[in-house]
Amino acid sequence: MKSILFAGAIALALTVPAVAKPWVDWSPKKGVWQVTAVKVDPNHIDDYLTGLKKVWVPGEEYAKQHGLIDMYDVMVKVNAADGQANVLLVEHLTSFGMLDPNKKRDQDMEAAMTALMSEDQQKGMVEGFDKYRTFVGDDMWQSVEFAK
């Protein structure tokens, strides 16, 4: 029994750990995920979601129609009263290049949003949100694909 354990220990010691290599074992996927984590008072999640539908979703639809993003989502944490972020706003930009400034695109988007709701209405809605929400994270993530 001791010789079997000794042989196993030697084999383990001689094993060289594998080193993962980008573009060999895994590859980054195109695009970037923008994930905004928000802590919303659990008693106001419905209000916040209703506001997002009026302000955020139309902006995401515009960005999607114009090829800036190809997907967006809102996620609500099931155990929302644990003191952490409980709403995630997620969008997938089609490439990192979409983060570059583009005067015409940016001004067109701003005009499209103002057509939906005046700047004063938008400001009032945001001020209302600020009473019960706090941004706790704004992260960028990149998906990876594993080699077969």
**Which residues are bridge partners to 73 per DSSP?**
90
Q: What are 62's two structure tokens?
A: 């515009």
The tens-digit pLDDT sequence of the chain (148 residues) is: 556 655 555 555 555 566 888 899 999 999 999 999 999 998 999 999 999 998 899 989 999 998 899 999 999 998 866 779 999 999 999 999 988 999 998 898 888 888 887 778 777 777 778 888 999 999 999 999 999 8
- For position 117, what pLDDT does the model report? 76
Helix H or strand E encompassing 26: strand 26-28
- For position 113, what pLDDT does the model report? 80
The SS3 call for residue 56 is: helix
The DSSP 8-state label assigned to residue 6 in this structure reads: H
Residue pair 29/143 in contact by the 8 Å Cβ criterion: yes
Q: What are the structural domains of the chain?
A: 27-146 (3.30.70.100)
The SS3 call for residue 117 is: coil
pTM of the model: 0.78
User: How far is it, in rounded angstroms, from Cα 37 to Cα 54?
Assistant: 19
Cα-flanking dihedrals φ and ψ of residue 132, to 5°? -135, 15
User: How far is it, in rounded angstroms, from Cα 85 to Cα 33?
Assistant: 17
